[in-house]
Copies of this chain bind each other. A is one copy, B any other.
Amino acid sequence: MTIKSFIPPQRTLMGPGPSDVSPQVLSALARPTVGHLDPSFIGMMDEVKSLLQYAFKTQNTYTLAISAPGSAGMEACFVNLITPEDTVVVCRNGVFGARMIENVQRIGATAVVVDCPWGRAVDPQALEDVLKQTPQARFVAFVHAETSTGALSDAKTLCEIAKKHNCMTIVDAVTSLGGVELRVDDWGIDAVYSGSQKCLSCVPGISPVSFSEQAAEHIKNRKQQVQSWFLDQSLVMDYWAGQGKRSYHHTAPVNSLYALHEALLILQNEGIENSWQRHQQQHDKLALGLADLGLDFIVPKEERLPQLNAVYIPNNIDDAKVRQYLLNEYNLEIGAGLGQFAGEAWRIGLMGYAARNENVVLCLSALKEALTKFA
């Protein structure tokens, strides 16, 4: 086959991520590559750290960006903190809680699962009950914003319960960071990971993480080597946190970090509380419109993520045909269902730069047309 330069279509991205990336971020991405030990780049990394501390609402020294997607950020948190002897209580109310369990098991550690219905928040009482019967547990892990269902869990309360039982907390904030309230320090989160491509509206491929002082101490004092060399934070920290001299670990994804820097700067300039509010306002508009179209949300109102709107596909409608129509006729991507909701739901994202008036009206108008056409 003859291969030519790839010119992608100009889509509007309203799926579960990647979300729309602003031209400003794409422009930063394309700036000339410098070396990963260039003094100018090191200065930029310090700024990324400070901007991430702002976004996570944390003072944690060990706040940095993993050079890989969110699932590697998840793995970085688990493999650095957990050893095979550990018992981890994991809450599962969707695909990403299940992935946490996989991570625990691949370490050879024990996962005790708090199962909650898909499409609902994690039930704090269920966590408390399991913790009472699992005194050996030293870690609690849960997903703040379940991307597979659109459910928002009460991270503050879940962390309080974990702390009462002397557990450190590992929190998936892939879809929550920048889109809903998240307070790493105030809530007592010990390890948190996110993704660049959701409410930060940066290109995919980078995973912001932050470790509390307690978690960082735990990593430094562990006797067993971390099973992953690439994700071993005791090595990575020397590159990111090194005062003055930085030691080489791996070659950082220089240009992607330019983009993350710019995306975080946009967030800081807007003000993170304003960003949370914008996501809620756009969600309210979208939710009204979806109700007009007769589409029902999976998640009850008070547990709903503004940035991920999962609605049931009406019985008479062909899932694939509608999504194809939106893509082909409107260059609009919405997400398919995942896991238990595969074929049953659509996931409409309103993340970061995508959470704006133009997108909401485009989505509602195009969806209305498609529903009429394929009814």
The residues of A with any CB-CB pair to B shorter than 8 Å are: 1, 3-11, 13, 15, 17-18, 20-21, 26-36, 38-41, 44, 47, 50-51, 67-72, 74-75, 99, 102-103, 105-107, 195, 197, 203-205, 225-230, 248-256, 258, 261-262, 265, 268, 327, 333, 338
Q: Which residues of B contact A33 (CB under 8 A)?
A: 8, 11, 13, 18, 20-21, 26, 197, 203-204
Q: Chain A's interface: helix, strand, loop or mixed, by majority? A: loop
CA distance A39 to B9 in the complex (A): 10
**Sample of 15 further A-B pairs with CB below 8 A, known A8-B40, A204-B251, A204-B255:** A1-B50, A3-B51, A6-B262, A11-B32, A11-B34, A18-B35, A26-B33, A36-B204, A68-B68, A68-B69, A69-B230, A70-B250, A205-B251, A227-B227, A253-B256
A338 touches B105 (CB 8 A): no
- Least Cβ–Cβ distance between A330 and chain B, in angstroms: 14
B250 touches A71 (CB 8 A): yes
For the complex of A and B, the 7 pairs showing the least CB-CB separation, nearest first, are A205-B253, A30-B30, A68-B68, A71-B250, A203-B255, A204-B251, A21-B33
Q: Which residues of B contact A35 (CB under 8 A)?
A: 11, 13, 15, 18, 333
A-B contact pairs, 23 of them (CB 8 A): A5-B28, A6-B31, A6-B44, A7-B31, A8-B38, A8-B258, A9-B40, A10-B32, A21-B33, A26-B31, A36-B204, A38-B327, A69-B250, A71-B229, A71-B249, A99-B229, A203-B253, A204-B255, A227-B227, A227-B228, A228-B228, A253-B256, A256-B256
- Least Cβ–Cβ distance between A345 and chain B, in angstroms: 15
Q: Which residues of B contact A41 (CB under 8 A)?
A: 8
- Least Cβ–Cβ distance between A25 and chain B, in angstroms: 9
Q: A18-B251, A67-B68 are in contact. Are A34 and B5 (CB under 8 A)?
A: no
Q: Which residues of B contact A254 (CB under 8 A)?
A: 18, 203-205
- Least Cβ–Cβ distance between A344 and chain B, in angstroms: 16
B204 touches A252 (CB 8 A): yes
Q: Which residue of B lies closest to A250 (CB)?
A: B71
A27 touches B28 (CB 8 A): no
Q: Which residue of B lies closest to A261 (CB)?
A: B6
Partner of A29, one of B38, B226, B255, B327: B255
Q: Which residues of B contact A72 (CB under 8 A)?
A: 67-68, 72, 230, 250
Q: Which residue of B lies closest to A9 (CB)?
A: B40
CA distance A4 to B32 in the complex (A): 17
For A38, A75, A252, which residue has the most chain B Cβ atoms within 10 angstroms?
A: A38
Q: A8-B258, A72-B230, A106-B226 are in contact. Are A251 and B3 (CB under 8 A)?
A: no
Q: Which residue of B lies closest to A20 (CB)?
A: B33
A69 touches B69 (CB 8 A): no
B31 touches A8 (CB 8 A): yes
CA distance A15 to B204 in the complex (A): 27
Partner of A69, one of B102, B107, B253, B333: B253
A34 touches B6 (CB 8 A): no
Q: Which residues of B contact A27 (CB under 8 A)?
A: 30
- Least Cβ–Cβ distance between A201 and chain B, in angstroms: 9
Q: Which residues of B contact A333 (CB under 8 A)?
A: 34-35, 38
For A4, A31, A102, which residue has the most chain B Cβ atoms within 10 angstroms?
A: A31
